[in-house]
Structure 1
Amino acid sequence: MTAGQADTANETPPTPARAAAHSLRSAVRARLGIDLRALAAFRIALGAIVLADLLLIRLPGLRTFYTDQGTLPRDALAQSFPTFEALSLHALSGSLWVQGLLIGIAAVAAGCLLVGYRTRLATAISAVLLASVFARNPYVLNGGDTIMLSVLLLGLFLPLGARWSVDACRRGDRQTEPESSRICTVATAVILVHFVGIYAVNGILKFRSEAWMTGTAVQRIFHLEQYVVLLGPFLTDFSALLTAANWAWVALLTVSPLLLLTTGRLRLALAGAFIGAQLGLGVTMRLGAFPFVMVAILLLYLPPDVWDRFEDTLEAHVPARYRALESTPTTAKPTIAEHVPATLRRTGRIAVAMALVCGLVAVVGWQAIALGFLETPEPVTAAIDDDIEGASWAFFAPNPPEGYWWYAWEADLESGETVGTLTDESGAIDRPPDAADRDPSVLWKRYGSELRYAPASQYEPLAAYYCEQVAADGESAESVTVYKLEQPVDADGPTGDLEHDARLEYAC
């Protein structure tokens, strides 16, 4: 008997329990694991989105929404949101140059995240500064912002820089074989479950809605002029198409748990359908970074075959010197973690895993409270009900708004004249040609949405801002009155009379 035959004879055949355990591990890995190249694509997309959000959305509104000369000075922030004021780095100063400096640092960190340079540090700085700027003005947030922040925080526990990164080049990582390119950890499971939970909660809320269940919700949404931009206005007359979109979206949300339960081509088809739907939102509605953040997260669900083909395409059509950050085999330098005792490293991993699981349980509980599945003390329930969209990411659910709104103002000048945006040239109060034009930016739209049901006192910073605007034009205003106007709509368009409400009269 040869040595090889002896080894074969001495091998212990796998027991049914071991075989079952191996099959279970393989099944879990295929569903809750993430390809390292998917993580790299996610990092690149997330870095680009954060950078665009900072430079294209936050920076143009820096003075208006983040300084003491804008619509929410720090004293007003401290009065309405004392916890946010205490935690925000941006609230340390009300000057424009400090806000610009912090945005600049955040932009550099986002750029480093994009290219994968000092990836974990860049992710941490991005998360801290993004949380800080969000806390500086809660009136200009939406559910997409909180999702972007949550995935940045989860990214701290994921190897985002393992592939296609400057870090990989600096470490000299060798090309990972396809069979070992998927990792499965508590962090990968949490981010995948967390994201599917967002869709699943939204789907449950849709089933509680008469508008969604009668197929009229999307038609109504496309008549909400403060949201609809770009290609959106051209679709309002295609009622059959919008009805089909209504049912297609409900169907997708219903089967969203299959993103976790399926593998291979079926998962690819589902992820592709969701990506198409989110891109459709991006070209028809003014929602800021939200649809693009969702697309970035959906990249994590793409199976390894997709990334194999992507790399094969790069190798076939792109010269090696131009390929994205390929690794060069060198002697890897020891990391700081390698000098930490094994017992301490193991304890740290367990602590991180427990923290991630507790965070996921908290998020699931939060959503369960918002859905009414868990009973809570009345103050907690009331707080969540006050802003269910922010609490449970319930976008246009359970029902879309029944009207679109905008704000107008009038200033009485010392000269006796009246200026402002309440009336048109004929002196009549009428709908604007396009309500979206009354909100010059995404931040203005969010600000107006959050103020809809706010008490009159919270309009004072806005009125003071208009007083300064009049003064900047060389006029002197005695008082400013802020109005909220709302046009009711249904699936067929505007209906009923235009409603206008004087929210505050403010002495300049």
Structure 2
Amino acid sequence: MSQVLTPSPTPISDVPELSAPTGFWGVLRRPFTLDLRALALLRMAVAAVVLVDLAIRSTDLEAHYANLGVLPLPVLFEHAWMQYGFSLHTASGLWQGQAVLFLLAAGVAGALLLGYHTRLATVFSWVLLVSLQNRNTLISQGGDDLLRMLLFWGMFLPWGRVWSWDTRHKPEPARLDYFSAATVAYIVQLCLLYWCTALLKTGPEWTETGTALYYAFSLDQLLLPGGRLLYPYPEVLRGLTFATYYTELLLPFALFLPVGVRWWRLLVIGVLFGFHLGISLTLYVGLFFLINMASVLGLLPPMALDWLTGRLASHAVRLRTWLQPRLPAWQLPWQLRLERTRPPAASRRRLGRAVRETFVAAVLAYVCWWNLDDVAVLRPAGGVMAEPVRWFGYLLRVDQHWGMFAPAVFKDDGWYILEATTAGGQKVDLNRAGAPLTYAKPAAVVSLFKNDRWRKYSENYLFVNNAWMRPYYCNYLLRIWKENPQHAPLKHLSVVYMKEVSLPDYKVAKPTREVLCDCE
């Protein structure tokens, strides 16, 4: 690759018309102008997160995506199907069919990481991610919405213009700075995430008493060692609660300031990196923190990228020198059909750009409208978005909700016991690999979950309106237990939830036993 981490002496843009803006218009668009190198880093980070997500999900191919799992296709369509949605993953109820789609998604994400046919790789990655998320919405969280939106806006960003396989034989662009409706959409999307997260937190724990993090760290299903260290200090938790709330509410405004843009962006990136690192050390939120960290890389200013490329350029040259003689000289037979043999006419470029900018601006307006409707404190009584208008959001999956710990922190905590009775009358707990049954609270409740997808599933499993999930989960547990010939035969299984309500002032509630499901 001729452009891998090579420092460029001048800012660039892949659109010649985007010369350095002056006057009022130039000042207005300054906060929304991004460096192409930052967009390339954003592309690589998003692709890497998609690969990590696929790797984690692939450990539950049968459980979460096949008919033998917890959500068979007929049950999905009856209870959890999103109207106007689409999913290639519903074409087969076999785990082998899911495995093929997972491998395809991994290959496309790998192409996106390398910047190989970047635009097509972005489109297919988005399609396959939406398809995967639609197959089982019961294990989704807010980070999935953000990852989906990053790929959506990425389809309209030139994040393969530098540091990509596509540009290995192309000249460097004339400028590194780039502005379009898509850069505006990307920045506004990040701001909407944090603004709505804050505005949805209307409970007094966030705005008055400052006890939100106390209650969050009281949730043993989420608590990690870092949170356990902070938990005994109420004043520290109170300060961190207000810091969290006002960071989410006020920090995004810094991205709209037209002066000192690079310094404001470094501040935003630094604060958000520290913010999400802190979350990852204290609360079990899966890939949420990693997705959010990746999402801000597109904001990196030129001076940070100059520093980065200056230190990595020599390593890149050595890597290229070692790699080039070892790369195959042949091309894939379909490669020539995917690549343009000559650039389009100027009139077609202008028309294509106008259509693209108009479409992106319209979708951004729709996304802002959706979020406005989602935040009760901003919308009129009864809402401003009629239900028939929502089909567009569900079809393109630009629907989103940023209600983490909102409006208040969930206070019904507890742990699961999979209480089984063997044919010989012995009581065992399948949640602890068949160990003798005990109702004592585990030392680390969070360790009972295989991954965050299962934690989210168990969270949805508790809600009364999701009671239909319970028999399918119970039967799945029985089946996988019976498939192991070393396991003792079972004659009964109860899914038990030991409910422990979080109380104020470090008071401890007595757990209550709730049987959620029985099966033979």
| TM-score class, shorter | 0.7 to 0.9
Matched, 1:53 2:53: yes
Q: Tell me how far 1:341 sits from its aligned partner.
A: 4.8
Could you tell me how far 1:196 is from its partner in structure 2?
0.5
Letter in 2 for 1:46: V
Task: Give the whole-Å Cα distance in 2 for the aligned partners of 1:470 and 1:404.
Answer: 27
Q: Hey, what does 1:36 align to over in structure 2?
A: 36
Instruction: Give the structure 1 partner of residue 7 of structure 2.
Output: none
Residues in 1 aligned to 2:497 and 2:41: alpha-carbon distance in whole angstroms: 43
| Deviation, structure 1 residue 413 | 4.2
SS of the residue corresponding to residue 135 of structure 1 reads: helix
Cross-structure match for 1:469: 480
Contact (CA 8 Å) 1:224, 1:489: kept in 2 or not? yes
Structure 2 residue matching 1:90: 3-state secondary structure: helix
* Aligned equivalent of 2:317, options 312, 317, 320: 320
Aligned position for 1:158:
157
Aligned to 2:420: 411
Q: 1:164 offset after TM fit, Å?
A: 1.2
Give the aligned residue type for 2:104.
I
Query: 1:293 deviation in Å?
Result: 1.4
Q: What is residue 516 of structure 2 aligned with on the other side? A: 503
CA distance in 1, matches of 2:436, 2:108: 51
Aligned in 2, Cα 1:346/1:128: closer, same or farther, shift over 3 Å? same
Q: Which secondary structure does the structure 1 equivalent of 2:502 belong to? A: strand
Q: CA deviation at 1:132?
A: 1.1
C-alpha distance in 2, partners of 1:31/1:220? 37
**Residues 149 and 41 of structure 1: CA distance in aligned 2, closer, same or farther (over 3 Å):** same
Residue-by-residue CA offset, 1:34-82 (whole Å, 9 max, x unaligned) = 1101101111111111111111x10112121111121111121121134
Query: What per-residue deviation string (whole Å, max 9, x for no partner) do you get for residues 450-495 of structure 1?
Result: 2221343221210111120331244444443223332112465463
CA displacement at 1:209 relative to structure 2? 2.3
Within the candidate set 350, 365, 371, 2:369 is matched to 365
Deviation, 1:227, is: 1.5
Equivalent residue runs for 1:188-207 within 5 Å: 188-206=183-201
Structure 2 CA distance for partners of 1:299 and 1:391, relative to 1, 3 Å: closer
2:229 pairs with 1:219? no
Does the residue aligned with 1:126 lie in a helix, a strand or coil? Answer: helix
In structure 1, what is the equivalent of residue 446 of structure 2?
436
Q: 2:383 aligns with which of 376, 385, 393?
A: 376
Q: Is the 8 A contact 2:214 2:237 kept in 1?
A: yes
CA–CA distance in 2 between the matches of 1:163 and 1:133? 29
Alignment partners' CA distance in 1, 2:296 and 2:385: 36
Q: 1:484 to 1:104 in 2, by over 3 A?
A: same
After superposition, residues 278-293 of structure 1 pair within 5 angstroms as 278-293=276-291
Quote the residue 2:181 is aligned against: 186
Q: 1:494 to 1:436 in 2, by over 3 A?
A: farther
Sort the Cα spacing of 1:416 and 1:84 in 2 relative to 1 into closer, same or farther, 3 A. farther
How well do the aligned residues superpose, as a CA RMSD in angstroms? 3.1
The answer to whether residue 351 in structure 2 is matched with residue 347 in structure 1 is yes
Structure 2 residue runs without a partner (length 5+):
1-20, 325-335, 391-398
3-state SS of the aligned residue for 1:283?
helix
Matches within 5 A, 1:421-500: 429-453=439-463, 454-474=465-485, 475-490=488-503, 492-493=505-506, 495-500=508-513
Q: Is the 8 A contact 2:73 2:93 kept in 1?
A: yes
| One-letter amino acid of the counterpart of residue 518, structure 2 | E
Matches within 5 A, 1:55-454: 55=55, 57-83=56-82, 87-170=86-169, 172-174=170-172, 176=173, 180-206=175-201, 208-213=202-207, 214-255=209-250, 256-262=252-258, 263-315=261-313, 318=315, 320-322=317-319, 336=340, 340-372=344-376, 373-374=379-380, 375-376=382-383, 391-420=400-429, 429-453=439-463, 454=465
Is the Cα contact below 8 Å between 1:165 and 1:325 reproduced in 2? no
1:135, 1:500 → 2: CA distance? 33
CA deviations 1:326-362 (Å, max 9, x no partner) are: 99xxxxx996395545444433333322222222222
TM-score, with structure 2 as normaliser? 0.82
Equivalent residue of 2:514, what SS?
A: strand
Q: 1:313 deviation in Å?
A: 2.5
Sort the Cα spacing of 1:212 and 1:477 in 2 relative to 1 into closer, same or farther, 3 A: same
CA contact 1:164–1:324 (8 Å) conserved in 2: no
Stretch of structure 1 that moved more, 368-377 or 265-274 = 368-377
Equivalent-residue separation in structure 2 for 1:324 and 1:46 (angstroms): 27
| Aligned-partner Cα distance in 2 for 1:425–1:358 | 57
In structure 1, distance between residues paired with 2:223 and 2:81: 34
Structure 1: segments with no counterpart, 5+ residues:
1-20, 328-332, 384-389
Tell me how far apart the structure 2 counterparts of residues 427 and 235 of structure 1 sit (CA, whole Å). Answer: 32
Deviations 1:306-337 (A, max 9, x none): 1122222334x64633379999xxxxx99639
Deviation at 1:501, TM superposition (A): 2.0
In structure 2, distance between residues paired with 1:248 and 1:326: 48
Residue of structure 2 in register with 1:14 after alignment: none
Kindly indicate whether the alpha-carbon contact (under 8 Å) linking 2:224 and 2:281 is maintained by their aligned counterparts in 1: yes
Aligned-partner Cα distance in 2 for 1:283–1:321: 36
Q: Describe the shift of the 1:353–1:377 C-alpha distance in structure 2 as closer, same or farther (beyond 3 A).
A: closer
- For 1:204, the aligned partner's letter is L
AA aligned opposite 1:457: W
CA distance in 2: counterparts of 1:86 and 1:368, whole angstroms: 22
| SS of equivalent residue, structure 1 residue 502 | strand
Whichever of the two has the greater Rg, that structure is: 1
Higher helix share: 1
Q: Distance in 1 between matches of 2:418 and 2:375?
A: 38
